A and B are shown apart, each in its own frame.
Chain A
Amino acid sequence: MGDADPGDCERPFNRPAAVTTPTSSPALRLDGVSKSFRRETGESVLALDHISFSVDRGGLAALVGPDGAGKTTLIRLLTGLLKAESGVVTVLGIDAAKDPQAIQSRISYMPQQFGLYDDLTVFENLNLYADLHGVTSENRRTQYARLMEMTGLEPFQKRLAGKLSGGMKQKLGLACTLVRSPELLLLDEPTVGVDPLSRRELWEIIRKLVKEGMTVLISSSFLDEAEACEHVLVLNEGKKLAEGPPAEVSGLALGRTFLAQPPDGMKPRDFQARLLAEPDIVDAVPESGQVRLVSQAGRGSGTGIFGGVAAQPTPARFEDGFMVLLQQSGGAKPIDAKTLQPEEPLGGSRNESVVEVHDLDRRFGKFVAVDHASFNVKRGEIFGLLGPNGAGKTTTFRMLCGLLPPSGGTLTVAGVDVRRASASARQHLGYVAQKFSLYGQLSVGDNLAFFARAYGLGGEKKSERIAWALSQFKLEPFVRLPSAHLPGGFKQRLAMAASLLHRPEILFLDEPTSGADPFARREFWQRITALAAGGVTVIVTTHFMEEAEYCDRAAILDNGKLLAQGTPAELRARAPSEEGRTPTMEDAFIAIVLEARGKPAGKSGENPS
């Protein structure tokens, strides 16, 4: 315990932090850094492979890449909480291997789980960090006032942190790291699972801090957030794909991006599938009723005819560049719904409602998880439930599947009242939970065999369905592998394969794309498109707003309330249109939530007082 106290940090908030070291040296720097981990099975996984990267003082840098890319490992190396195996990590001029405490005393870090104490109040959480950082009481007064104004937490000071909403928690987490002005701020995926509105507010705070001279490094799996930064490091499976200003990454797709209008009567997702099947297209994704596409490099940029339709050139986004990068490093492009093995379509009329929810209500004590929601879903539709964490999506799902009894309202699934006969209704359902819920120690083949039997399949039928699942989800190479050892994306595929063995009429997917890279997300939606074409009704939750574009209809949930529902076009129409661009689903979400929050609680909120 006798260690000295090197970097002390009583510093007024507004004074620029960087005074102790010359401004010429970068705020952080990695030179050929590698780090590997040992899995439980004994095999070693390279989390970071010879990464070199630096961020200048006063800069705003982003670390982007899918889950498992090595983002968290890199940030932990910078905090000195992990030691690099090779290479040098330097933060604020200090070698992280030699004096991690000196770094830890001078930087601020918000881990993915925020580091808040749920059973302390907002104010007590702030005080704890202020005490740890040695903020004097005079500084505290000015600082807190500023933080409260910045985060809007003022009215909640006495509330327990555990009782805050996701967005509020995240802001409190940020406020705790800002009780004094750090020289470097490290944020690990601060925006995952929070609603677009909070996300927008958080970014405003970050921009303000950078303007004041703070250096900020933020990791994110939202690619659009990279565009807001000056400097970007793109990671994938521990390898550096690119580094530089985001425009450089977007530039890889320069002159190759187009927006195409689907032919009359064709759904954007079906048109996307058609485009993806074409050899000269690298990527296609539905966007605001159209399809955004990236063409192959060799193709002349002048000719804008794709899939028999004339497409308009459009500026390249970061994600387009990212897809080009992924293709360059891996060579593959997303699978398309067209080439997926078609199944014999399920029968039944397309106009029939297979899910009817009326006035659905669920309370846990005083807490209202789902507040009088009503919607219905027709056969073969893709229906999306959009909303941030805690909006009530999973609770709604559990009630639909008969796993949780509702507190009120009626629920009919596949013609059966789930409240009375959930067992028979479940025979028509497939459910993929948010967490991987298959047996990790069983092999891929054993898992499928188990679920086939659990659904009552046997003999010829059983082997036939398992063979179908293995080929459809490209799981053949892994038949004998224990499923716990599957790479992330394949686990999700296996879970989906298992849920489809009994050919359910209705498939429920809870946050299937959370944390997945854009490539895996494209493939996932292609499979869903193919299923819907075969007559399967799909109900899916997501916090990626743009994924609503794949849906026939979607509902927007916030704080347990179903705020709006309709086709993607109807929802988008609720957003104010800005000049020069069509509103996105995220704009629509924000507009709808703001509208709902702005109105008084009663429905007829116009009574004069």
Chain B
Amino acid sequence: MKSWSEKLRRIRALTLKETRQILRDPSSIAIGVVFPLMMILLFGYGLSLDITRVSVAMVDEDASSESAALIGAFRLSPYFGVTVVHSMAEAKKLVQNRKADGALLIPSDFSRRWHSGDAEIQILVNGTDPNQARIMQGYAQGPIAQWGAAHAGSSSSFPAGPVVVVDRMWFNENNDSHYFLVPGLIVLVMTIIGAFLTAMVVAREWERGTLEALFVTPMRAGEFLVSKFLPYFGLGMVGFLLCLLAGHFLFHVPLRGSLFLLSLASMTYLVVALGIGLLVSTLVKSQFLASQLAMLLTFLPAMMLSGFLYDLRSMPAFIRGITYALPARYAVALMQTLYLAGDVGSVIWLNLGILAAMAAALLAATRLATRKQLT
């Protein structure tokens, strides 16, 4: 009994020390609070995968009422900013100077051929950003279809109104990329605090020799780990809260699943991240190496290979195979499902189960690797 109360007292003392250090060390605050905020703002405002107000240079060689109406349709669209120029050469120049994202040519026979039913217009997009080019191509269908529908009635020679495809996007009706960026952001922030920051602070104790002094006391290795774990778990939850608030108030991302499950999933992933951080720093014992390793093992995969930015299904099979070993993959799936689709039982329990198993394995490995030994 007495030994347990001693144990708790030691853990309390070490946790208090760690908390004080976090509060006093500007770099922990920077990584724990400022960094999540920066990520939120950066991904929230800087990296939006949606394209609005694509600037397009329009060349009207036809100069008919039909072509004017088509230009008007583009002008009305919220997705386009229109500049009318007089020649293709001029349009090309604008695209080259990045003043326009693409060009649209209405040929001189446009109205004539439209009446005979085979009108053509030419869309030129700047292919240096294929993603953007593809989206713009898709967007252009909108005003054209609109224009086509409006003119169908007025012209008797037009055989039939063009078929208008009506898209409906499920789960992200607004086609707003914040909807899937915010859930992924939670994972990213947890990764940084859990793995990266923790790896640094434990390695720092090895480097500065403070651990050597702590080891020659009644303190047990497990107690040391608990005292590192608790404060950074708290800091990670602060990061989680910041993301949650930003998602709700800044980006208006709806949360369709339960807050309880979202918190549970975040905590489980945070434990995994902490486990990686503690294990890495215990094994390498150098701040520089630990930070590089944590970056390589957790942060970059969480960014690239988790489904946060890039669709897992479009990856080569080999790379996709690798993602199954990455905890971030399961976490991103969990968060996106909880945010956008709701409490889908099958998805949630499977992913949560895998994360929990990973957390347990990592903590066990860390406990075994932490020895009161110098090498």
Contacts and interface: CB of A to CB of B under 8 A. Distances in A.
A113 B212 contact: yes
A239 interface: no
A36 interface: no
Contacts of A4: 3
Interface stretch (B10-18, B71-79, B110-118): B10-18
A388 B367 CA distance: 42
Interface stretch (B19-27, B42-50, B252-260, B341-349): B19-27
Contacts of A100: 372
Nearest to A73: B374
Given A100-B372, A113-B212, A119 B218 contact: no
A261 interface: no
Interface in B1-59: 2-3, 6-7, 9-10, 12-14, 17, 20-21, 24-25
Contact of B20 (A9, A105, A120, A132): A120
Given A111-B209, A115-B209, A131 B216 contact: no
Interface stretch (A121-129, A207-215, A321-329, A376-384): A121-129
Nearest to A104: B216
Contact of B13 (A3, A79, A128): A128
A134 B209 contact: no
B21 A117 contact: yes
Given A113-B212, A114-B213, A117-B21, A5 B374 contact: no
Contacts, number: 101
B225 to A, nearest CB: 9
A126 to B, nearest CB: 11
A3 B6 CA distance: 13
Given A5-B3, A113-B209, A82 B218 contact: no
A120 B210 CA distance: 12
Contact of A80 (B7, B210, B223, B372): B372
B372 A81 contact: yes
B218 A8 contact: yes
Given A3-B220, A4-B3, A120 B21 contact: yes
Given A81-B212, A81-B372, A104 B21 contact: no
B3 A104 contact: no
A5 B3 CA distance: 6
Interface string A223-244: 0000000000000000000000
B354 to A, nearest CB: 26
B9 A134 contact: yes
B208 interface: yes
A601 interface: no
Given A131-B12, A131-B13, A104 B218 contact: yes
A381 to B, nearest CB: 39
A76 B13 contact: no
Interface string A55-80: 00000000000000000000010011
A105 B217 contact: yes
A109 interface: yes
A33 to B, nearest CB: 16
Interface size class of B (residues with CB under 8 A): 20 to 34
B373 A5 contact: no
Interface in B58-102: none
Contacts of B6: 5, 8, 134
A200 B196 CA distance: 44
A333 interface: no
A530 B12 CA distance: 61
A108 interface: yes
A582 to B, nearest CB: 40
Contacts of B210: 113, 115-117
B209 A128 contact: no
Contact of A115 (B13, B24, B214, B223): B214
B217 A133 contact: yes
Interface size class of A (residues with CB under 8 A): 35 or more
B209 A104 contact: no
Contacts of B367: 1
Contact of A124 (B14, B17, B372, B373): B17
A80 B212 CA distance: 11
Contacts of A129: 217
Contacts of B222: 1
B374 A124 contact: no
A133 B12 contact: no
B238 interface: no
A112 interface: yes
Nearest to A116: B210
Contacts of B218: 5, 7-9, 101, 104-105, 132-134
Contacts of A110: 213
Interface in A7-40: 7-9
B366 to A, nearest CB: 12
B147 interface: no
Interface in A103-162: 104-105, 107-117, 119-120, 124, 127-129, 131-134
A83 B373 contact: yes
B171 interface: no
A99 B279 CA distance: 25
B215 interface: yes
Interface string A557-589: 000000000000000000000000000000000
Contacts of B212: 81, 109, 111, 113, 115
A101 B220 contact: yes
Contacts of B215: 79, 81, 104
A4 B220 CA distance: 10
Contact of A128 (B14, B24, B220, B223): B14
Given A119-B24, A119-B25, A79 B216 contact: yes
Given A104-B218, A133-B218, A113 B13 contact: no
Nearest to B3: A5
Interface string B239-257: 0000000000000000000
Nearest to A111: B212
A131 B372 contact: no
Given A104-B216, A104-B218, A132 B10 contact: yes
Nearest to A83: B373
Nearest to B23: A119
9 closest A-B pairs by CB: A115-B213, A131-B13, A113-B209, A1-B222, A109-B216, A5-B3, A105-B218, A132-B217, A111-B212
Given A104-B217, A119-B20, 9 more contacts: A5-B3, A82-B373, A83-B373, A109-B213, A109-B216, A111-B209, A115-B212, A116-B213, A120-B20
6 contacts: A76-B374, A81-B216, A105-B218, A115-B210, A117-B17, A128-B13
